[in-house]
Amino acid sequence: MRKEQVMRWSGLALFALMAVLWPGHDRARAAQSAAGSGGNGQPFVIEYYYKAKWGHADEFLALFKKNHYPVLKKEVELGRMLKVSMVAPRYHTTEDGRWDFRVTIVYKNATIANDNFDSAALIKQLYPDQETYKKEEQRRFEILDAHWDLPIKDVDLDTR
């Protein structure tokens, strides 16, 4: 194998490993941060950003409303989440900063936000046709260019 091929394969392997490990790292850091600030009893807010491929924002929104939003609403009913909302930018931005939808979820607290809740039972209850559900959820993520999660905190501007 040539040196360039080895380097390319090494880079791909590293990227694949990071893709698998990084989401867990982010959640662990968020939980540690929240626990370290004594925020376990306070609501914990995460913003979820979605950037659809050009021309697919409406399709993404339709699939989100059909397959994901009802699961989130059920978690609000269960008391895990206090609120779920979505916004979209009114105007466009530069491509590197573009996002199409921001979903804000206010969890009851940081512990619940990071507890690895398994929604499989809710999904089976809400969507008896699992084959269609899985196909549509796969499509919802196929039409994304990017997705990222951002735990946020309030900043008190009145204290020093």
Task: Quick: pLDDT tens for 100-143.
Answer: 999 999 999 999 999 999 999 999 999 999 999 999 999 999 99
pTM (2 d.p.): 0.74
Taking CA atoms, 36 is separated from 33, 39, 104, 110, 158, in Å, by 5, 8, 23, 11, 22
129 CB burial (10 A radius; 0-12, 13-18, 19+): exposed
The model's pLDDT over 18-66, given as tens digits with 9 standing for 90+, comes to 444 444 445 444 444 444 443 568 999 999 999 999 999 999 999 999 9
